[in-house]
Structure 1
């Protein structure tokens, strides 16, 4: 049931509206199909059916994601007659018919061009260039001549998941998204025999640190998958970078594959990089607590940090791990950003090893939060997902993943009791380093509003009704 819960959460992120109609459902709809009914006799099946229904009700009751569930089916591929499968087919059709895209008017030329794309897919074409696509669009029955009109069609096809297309990578329009997944699998498959590779040292780096070189990418494409990917290596690089599958390390010939970053523990990372030493000054934690945090989200966030900061290093080991990363804020390496993830939380902390550490961290924490906040907004827009979080905070040496303090409570009370340290903390000391910019912006907006009100009545004379 844990996996079912995860998939419901994932689908709920892609709901089409924030609020459902009264007694209505969310789109996209879910039809839950259980198979293997033939493994039970009638009495056992009825018992099992009740168990599953009870588990679903217990897991999803009173949760909005439950409103995606339309129907449940219990089927046997061996014993059930066609009528049972016809009920499922009808349910699929009936629910699809109710979705927003169903029956929506599209230009006839789009439908014909989409049909031509499907023919190319069936003929074994995995990708096509923009020039070739433009030639297809000029077919007499389609007659799309202008590039802008074709781009509109391609953007739509990309958004609904039929193709993968980026306007700045026009030489590679991927007709079959599975082809890109297969290309990615060439680089991460556990069936690769590293002993047979020419670039054995680079292979070791990939396995141990998630770093991959251009040479190893080329060799893996050629040795694992032949020429079908090697011939498109340059464009595949661009697409994989666009999707954060590969991230270029600044001033290096290597890439990072976030999905291949090694595992570690928070305590080990802190010990390796001296976070717990006396000369390390730590800010409070800012914790972004999500209703549902997709596991891949941390990979996207770490990729974003990689493009702006250098990963911290000790003895040629980079601080990039699955769920824990650390980056140098400047070239001195004295100030660093620690980024971590737990089940539903992204937590950040600024640490400093400078002997000239002044009171507080200036605007560093607030600047970083502004960057992260902007990144999340861009991700929501880019992937059209509905995710939300609440701000929590924790003391500098506290556990970021439990017993955190909600921001709204900290702004209401001047003090907060810390369960971990069995003492109180000043509330403002926890949150002020991280929202300095927002507080200043809010004060600035209030001053402007106040000034406008004064300007409307510069003489200070009483207006009607006063």
Structure 2
């Protein structure tokens, strides 16, 4: 069920929607004349992703000559392999084929990159409303069959969620239709135009629409279609217009990258970091520890390797990200292997029904692949870091009865019983339902499963009749004594609410609720890349849990004392305090303090983090108004490029406080906000 582009000249079609990712890493190239003055002789500032590094003088003339020769050989080799018209603009092209079946979606985050061009490929001979014969489990509704347009929306939303750059339209997506030869020849162009027009219309209200390229391609599968060559040219043309295309790539990295490639050619899948560091130190152009880490992070971002600086993972590099995906794939394809033996069949059925990965099942499945078995703990640690699997808190705190197992949220298939969600409030009391989504309702199942994985390690999963209460699109957690958290995904909206089981003190504890809200918010913000902003809504607790209509935006509601609820049959008035006091206790404890004493002091780090959550996209303008320079803001952008927008804004404000010291007061911040049109009183409001 894939489409392959072989050398960008041949199309092989096997019927399904998916995309191919083209990752470009620019190389520094020189003309024949420029080679006379080697880059190692120049004491130039080079940069990787905006971070400046100073080339150091080589200590010995011999090393300088050897380094010069080594770089010259690399550059000349690259130029020889390039075409004459492009010998000064050479780039590596990596092609990734993403499996279209739902069960493989959990692996896609390993490869998705903003430094890419995506082809979203569909079958032109099919109607957009035709169902795709593949079981999907995208939210609390459980098993479903999506149609073609829904799959396209899913893919585009995934790209927008996990890959969006701060530059509008990046990464770009090209729509490609195959099997044009199956269309009536006399109406082929008309049908094709209508197909792509309707496809765009289904995406018109989504923020992800901005990624679509204006050019579309219809491919005839019965011939070597010349449109494939046009597609190749379009890919090259679009690639050269991306914001990262002109980023300087440190020349010393080219030499180290060759070492990395050599290890890959040797068939190595995992490499101890010290081995690559030693290789770097033995090169004629060694790099220091800080730049070495930047080198690894850059290649991680492009999907070329997998590397994390976490304590448990920092000593190893996965050279082939596909290899990690293959390790997960073993569990997906284990059914045929496991059903041949009774004990393995029972393990498989348990895993398939509960999404619980136990050690004996992991051992059995990976026993067929020596390398998986040899590096089992490391692979599991990487999967935990990627939130593909999660070790339950119960397993971590069970003392002598330690249970060594994991949950894999992406394998959850069972739906939550309605009776579990419809609780008699005579026995307990619920908060309102707090809802999270984006302005165009882009909340992917991968983002929800990532949230579940983090919650699994944060709180114990609730149990009933010795069964864990975790389901497809829904989970229950014991977050405090007598407090039970519900997390529920439906129609691209994540809902959370908390029940407190107590007749003596029925009101949910506001500290517990506020802490839960903050944890969920931080998790979702960290999972969304680029400029996509999370929005928070609320629904009356009396409304049916399956509805996401008539949601009220929290920011708007906090300005009102009461509102009329229209979200269920009984129309009634609800006070804002009743709806939100558990989630935002500080807002109702006191009004924002705008006294002179407040305005004349400097914000604390905690206050800067809180303010950053409400400033939004105008933060660069605010930085300029506060006196920061463009280089300072660019440096912050690049240093925090893999962090959330809130992290970048916090870093900008921290730099302002650090530089301006006593002048960096709330009063000055207020003045700057007024100057650029930000509602300072809303930003300063305590919640």
- Alignment TM class, shorter chain as reference: 0.7 to 0.9
CA change 1:245–1:62 in 2 (3 A) is closer
Q: How does 1:320-331 map to 2 (within 5 A)?
A: 320-330=470-480
Residue of structure 2 aligned with 1:306, choices 450, 453, 456: 456
Q: How many residues align?
A: 436
Quick one: higher RCO (CA 8 Å, sep 6+), 1 or 2?
2
- Distance in 2 between the 1:442 and 1:177 partners? 51
Q: Which residue in 1 is equivalent to 2:570?
A: 422
Residue 41 of structure 1, CA deviation:
3.8
Q: How does 1:179-190 map to 2 (within 5 A)?
A: 179-189=323-333, 190=335
CA contact (8 A) 1:199 1:215 kept: no
Q: Which residue in 2 is equivalent to 1:135?
A: 278
- Distance in 2 between the 1:139 and 1:451 partners? 56
CA contact (8 A) 1:155 1:165 kept: yes
Q: Which residue in 1 is equivalent to 2:170?
A: 27
Q: Which residue in 2 is equivalent to 1:395?
A: 540
Q: How does 1:4-15 map to 2 (within 5 A)?
A: 4-13=152-161, 14-15=163-164
Q: Which residue in 2 is equivalent to 1:164?
A: 306
- Distance in 1 between the 2:419 and 2:272 partners? 48
Q: How does 1:46-61 map to 2 (within 5 A)?
A: 46-61=189-204
**SS of residue paired to 1:433:** coil
* CA displacement, residues 176-214 of structure 1 (integer Å, 9 cap, x when unaligned): 111000001122334442452646655443222222222
Q: How does 1:35-434 map to 2 (within 5 A)?
A: 35-61=178-204, 64-70=207-213, 71-82=215-226, 84-144=227-287, 146-167=288-309, 168=311, 169-189=313-333, 190-194=335-339, 196=341, 198=343, 202-223=347-368, 226-252=369-395, 253=403, 254-265=405-416, 267-270=418-421, 275-276=423-424, 278-290=426-438, 291-330=441-480, 332=481, 334-359=482-507, 361-380=509-528, 384-400=529-545, 401-410=548-557, 411-412=559-560, 414-428=562-576, 429-434=578-583
CA change 1:183–1:63 in 2 (3 A) is closer
**SS of residue paired to 1:326:** strand
Unaligned runs of 5+ in 2: 1-148, 396-402, 603-687
Residue 85 of structure 1, CA deviation:
2.6
Residue of structure 2 aligned with 1:17, choices 166, 171, 195: 166
Residue 415 of structure 1, CA deviation:
2.5
CA change 1:379–1:2 in 2 (3 A) is closer
CA change 1:439–1:11 in 2 (3 A) is farther
Residue 426 of structure 1, CA deviation:
1.7
**SS of residue paired to 2:510:** coil
Q: Quote the RMSD (CA, aligned, Å).
A: 2.7
TM-score after normalising by structure 1: 0.85
- Distance in 2 between the 1:314 and 1:120 partners? 50
Unaligned runs of 5+ in 1: 21-25, 454-466
CA contact (8 A) 2:543 2:567 kept: no
CA contact (8 A) 1:27 1:68 kept: yes
- Distance in 2 between the 1:195 and 1:398 partners? 49
* CA displacement, residues 32-84 of structure 1 (integer Å, 9 cap, x when unaligned): 221212223421312311221321342244655333222111122433454x3
